[in-house]
Amino acid sequence: MPTIIDIADKLGISKGTVSKALNNADDVSETLRKRVLETAVEIGYERNRARKGTADKLCMIVENFNYNDPAAFGYGIVMGFKKLAIPAGWDVDVVNVTPEQQEAMSYDTFMLSHEYKGAFAMGLTLRDPWMKKDLKTTRTPTVLYDNYILDNPRVSYIGVNNDEGFYMAVKHLKELGHTKIGYLGGGEGSYVTQARHDAFLRAMKNHGLEIKKNCIGRSYFISECTNKFLPAQLHSQVTAIICGYDLMAQAVLTQCMDLGYRVPEDLSIIGFDDAPFAAYTNPPLTTIRQNQEALGNCGFYALNSLINQTYIGTLLLRAELITRSSTGKARQGNLAAPRKLPI
Amino acid sequence: MPTIIDIADKLGISKGTVSKALNNADDVSETLRKRVLETAVEIGYERNRARKGTADKLCMIVENFNYNDPAAFGYGIVMGFKKLAIPAGWDVDVVNVTPEQQEAMSYDTFMLSHEYKGAFAMGLTLRDPWMKKDLKTTRTPTVLYDNYILDNPRVSYIGVNNDEGFYMAVKHLKELGHTKIGYLGGGEGSYVTQARHDAFLRAMKNHGLEIKKNCIGRSYFISECTNKFLPAQLHSQVTAIICGYDLMAQAVLTQCMDLGYRVPEDLSIIGFDDAPFAAYTNPPLTTIRQNQEALGNCGFYALNSLINQTYIGTLLLRAELITRSSTGKARQGNLAAPRKLPI
């Protein structure tokens, strides 16, 4: 195991200077500190313990995710994680990161410089520098929510079982007489939107239902889904639409009402996530729940097991179908033309 | 929550008799005890705590699995489970079950009668009465090794990531120049043999390799694989065979030597599991490792989370490719006819 002496030798500086740099002393320049950290990461140096008088620290990395507001999806996840981590003796920092910050400092350097023993990351996309490169080789125990890294045992994936969720959603619709079912979901920039799209296709196949032409719409932009793909699906006479996430489902509900259609009489809608607002849409949304606090719990379970060298690769929570009023019996016959046209 | 009074009312007997029956008192007949237990399960009675002076108990259910001998695959799993459960204050019983026992007593009745708070089951097959029926509705927190129950949140599935394992195995062979790769694995009576067969097909597809006719052999009986499917694959000029488990790979190694072929010069062989004997076959076996002690650890993690109402559905360990001498560069040209014919 490399020590600070190895860092000192490699840089031709004293052991004391390395120690100061690692411990954020004021009399070490930022440039030198950065070189020390990068060398430390390069040779595989790991801190053995936190400095005296401080607890060991874990980091929750957050991007594209609102977690401060109890009405936000991320709130329950952060809470669930902290509820297990803090009684177990960890300090937990929640840190927002941007792609620019990721570009400026490598993942392991970031972790080492802040003395984090492990991290739980939410909301990273496949375009993020840390996802594209650093996490493939990181040595820091890391749990990713809804992201998967092949072949690096230091990284776990946690999430909900998408296949199970879509299986239940399609089963529910089929029992209500629906056979023409559409899908509207996120674009291809993230692991989870791809996984949910694929899970929809498998669920339709497993229930023996045909996927109609024009009945899959995917975009990063909700407006593109509601203005372009939704009219195409209505034109194809779908009787139900499953959305890749609740915010999309809410937009589809609103747009259908604007077009003069009734939910669920003309069209059934199902969301995914059971975000806090899903019970309060008009009508309340049938959705596939991922229990947010349980996700946070699982994040800690998985991270704790990685820190203890048990290499959990995948941890999936059960999905649960929450039936509310946005789904009902399939309409008989075709939809009338919309009373209003989309703008 | 139903109490013993509800059981007493339902059976028209006294509360004291119910209590005696639940606590194995000598003066209650076996017939009455059985009726009390079955009624308790039927109305959803759950014991709140163990009797005074006893620890809470968990059960490891074992079928078709050798675990007493350190050279057996199950040994590490049992040890890994106990290493976490016992320090956490649980008593752990390891119990062998047969299909006949399962037929005679329902799963929940068995659990209630022995005061088990949860169970970790290894080696159940899809033909087992408890798998076919009871586990679909059980209320007892239960973790299944290599078995999956849809739609019952009280049951978790743990195992190794088969897709990842086969992906790495096929990648390794492809890098050695193999393109004609066969598969020999277990029959259709178990969840895991089906999962591994499917994972092989996906891995071949993901690496852009064609699956040749006659190059998949599956049977519950190893002898059928070596006597029938192996000659067919050799005839089809495969240069490598991946086996669904190490015991099969060992049999294939032996049979190839009997036929006068050299491993890996004529044929590369890969197993799955990294059973304790895999390092000592001739030549030592390249295999996909599932870390047995880590599996036992995960069994406890998952069971503990179910008992605490976090419904982990799936927990997969990372697979690891262990490269030994049974794999090498793909041979050029066709195999010679076997020196000996299979018996």
The pLDDT value recorded for residue B1 is 79
A337 — pLDDT class (breaks 50, 70, 90):
confident
Query: Looking at residues A95-122, what average pLDDT do you find?
Result: 93
pLDDT above 70 as % of chain A: 97
Report CA-CA distances (Å) from B339 to A58, B262, B263.
62, 12, 15
Residue with tokens 């991946």: B242
Beta carbons within 8 Å of A88's beta carbon, 6+ residues apart: A300, A304
Q: Where in chain B is the domain with CATH 3.40.50.2300?
A: 48-160+295-318, 162-289
Task: State the Cα–Cα distance between residues A294 and A79, nearest whole angstrom.
Answer: 10
In CATH, the architecture of A1-45 is: Orthogonal Bundle (1.10)
Residue of A nearest to B165 (CA): A151
> What integer pLDDT is reported at residue A65 of this predicted model?
79
Contact A314 B167 (CB under 8 A): no
What b/e readout covers A262-288, taking b as 16+ CB neighbours within 10 angstroms?
Answer: ebbebbbbbbbbbbbbbeebebbbbbb
User: Would you state the pLDDT for residue B338?
Assistant: 72
ipTM of predicted complex: 0.77
Facing B313 at nearest CB: one of A150, A161, A305: A161
Which residues on chain B are in Cβ contact (under 8 Å) with A317? 310-313
Residues on chain A touching B294 (C-beta within 8 angstroms): 310-311
All residues of chain A having their beta carbon less than 8 Å from the beta carbon of residue B316 are 312-315
Q: How much is the pLDDT for B28?
A: 86
pLDDT by residue, tens only, chain B of 343 residues: 788 898 899 888 988 888 888 888 888 888 888 888 888 888 888 776 555 556 789 999 998 778 888 878 889 999 999 999 999 999 999 999 999 999 999 999 999 989 999 999 999 988 899 999 999 999 999 999 999 998 899 999 999 999 999 999 999 999 999 999 999 999 887 889 999 999 999 999 999 999 987 899 999 888 888 888 999 999 999 999 999 999 999 999 999 988 889 999 999 999 999 988 999 999 999 999 999 999 999 999 999 999 999 999 999 999 999 999 999 999 998 888 776 655 5
Under DSSP, the state recorded for A126 is T
Tokens of A170: 């399609």
DSSP string over A287-299: EEE--HHHHHHHH
Answer yes or no: is pLDDT of A49 > 70.
no
Helix (H, G, I), strand (E, B) or coil at A171: helix
Q: Would you state the pLDDT for residue B263?
A: 94
Considering only CB atoms, B310 lies closest to which of A297, A312, A316, namely: A297
Q: How far is A142 from chain B (nearest CA, A)?
A: 14
Residue A342 — very low, low, confident or very high, per pLDDT cuts 50/70/90? low
Q: Tell me the pLDDT tens digit for each residue of A255-273.
A: 998 888 999 999 999 999 9
CATH number corresponding to B48-160+295-318:
3.40.50.2300
For residue B29, the model assigns a pLDDT of: 87
Q: Given A153, A305, A316, which is nearest B313 (Cβ)? A: A316
Asked if the Cβ–Cβ distance from A317 to B311 is below 8 Å, we say yes
Interface test with B, best of A303, A308, A310 (most B CBs within 10 A): A310
Average pLDDT score, chain A:
91
Residues of chain A with CATH 1.10.260.40: 1-45
Instruction: Say if the Cβ atoms of B310 and A318 lie within 8 Å.
Output: no
Residue type, A32: L
Chain B residues touching residue A168 (CB < 8 angstroms): 151
**Residue among B225, B144, B232, B156 nearest B190 (CA):** B144
Classify domain A162-289 at the CATH topology level. Answer: Rossmann fold (3.40.50)
Residue B150's closest chain A neighbor by CA?
A164
Residues of B whose CB is below 8 A from A167? 150
Residues of chain A with CATH 3.40.50.2300: 52-160+295-319, 162-289
Query: Are B153 and A291 an interchain contact pair (Cβ–Cβ within 8 Å)?
Result: no
- Average pLDDT, stretch A90-113? 93
Distance CA(B10)–CA(A257), nearest Å, equals 53
**What is the Cα gyration radius of chain B?**
24
Between chains, do B317 and A315 touch, taking CB under 8 Å as contact? no
Q: Does the model's pTM come out above 0.95?
A: no
Please enumerate residues of B whose Cβ is less than 8 A from a Cβ of A. 150-151, 153, 161, 164, 167-168, 291, 294, 297-298, 301, 305, 310-320
Q: Do A316 and B320 touch (CB under 8 A)?
A: no
As a CATH number, domain A52-160+295-319 is 3.40.50.2300
B33-54 pLDDT, tens digit each: 888 888 888 888 877 655 555 6
